[in-house]
Structure 1
């Protein structure tokens, strides 16, 4: 699992930064301690990211349903990898676990 920083803004927007990518998206509360978020994570132009099926990846669309437990958010959903021509080249299940930092 790659290290990342995600910032959930009060207006429902979010940003994510990894060593290989940056992304933006949105989030919403769906119930007591439950949330959903969706983001597009674009690979940095200096990174050649190859999908498991051998194609060059340009970005990932990630959709997650998660639960908050104290300072931890954990959830699962789907990640769809797109090539530079916007064609879907790979899809897989996605899991995340994050903890709040000050």
Structure 2
């Protein structure tokens, strides 16, 4: 039995950690399985689904708000993220992968990422 019958439905503030960097975000999880994400650099939309008691998977495509250059010097257009996360009394945390795509649609690079968030509403 889940301690969180609605899963992650609601508004969350969190951070994602990757390659020694940290980006803060606000995420809104909707009952229909959709989600939206906002950071200083990007806006994203995606989906989430329950994967077990107090666990969920989320997929988000984030489009950059302005021109972004990768660490390799290539212009990038968007990032695709996949996370598996677990809910707890203090929020949620998870691990996953971020894949960055260039303006030509090619993969610029992929990296492991971790996230944690607290419910804000």
Q: Which TM-score bucket, shorter chain as reference?
A: over 0.9
Partner of 1:15: 36
Question: Is 1:26–2:47 an aligned residue pair?
Answer: yes
- For structure 1, the residue ranges without an aligned partner over 5 or more in a row are none
| Higher RCO structure, 1 or 2 (CA under 8 Å, sep 6+) | 2
Question: Is 1:77–2:100 an aligned residue pair?
Answer: no
Once residues 30 and 10 of structure 1 are traced to their aligned partners in structure 2, the CA distance between those partners, rounded to angstroms, is 15
TM-score under structure 1 normalisation? 0.94
Question: Is 1:58–2:101 an aligned residue pair?
Answer: no
Across the aligned residues of Structure 1 and Structure 2, the Cα RMSD in angstroms comes to 0.9
Query: Tell me, what secondary structure is at the counterpart of 1:39?
Result: strand
- For structure 2, the residue ranges without an aligned partner over 5 or more in a row are 1-21
Superposition misfits of 4+ residues, deviation over 3 angstroms: none
Cα offset, 1:50, TM superposition: 1.4
Cα offset, 1:70, TM superposition: 1.5
Q: Deviations over 1:28-81 (max 9, x none)?
A: 00001100000100001xx22111222111100000001001141100110000
Question: Is 1:49–2:68 an aligned residue pair?
Answer: yes
Question: Comparing both structures, which one devotes a greater share of its residues to strand?
Answer: 2
Count how many residue pairs are aligned between Structure 1 and Structure 2: 100
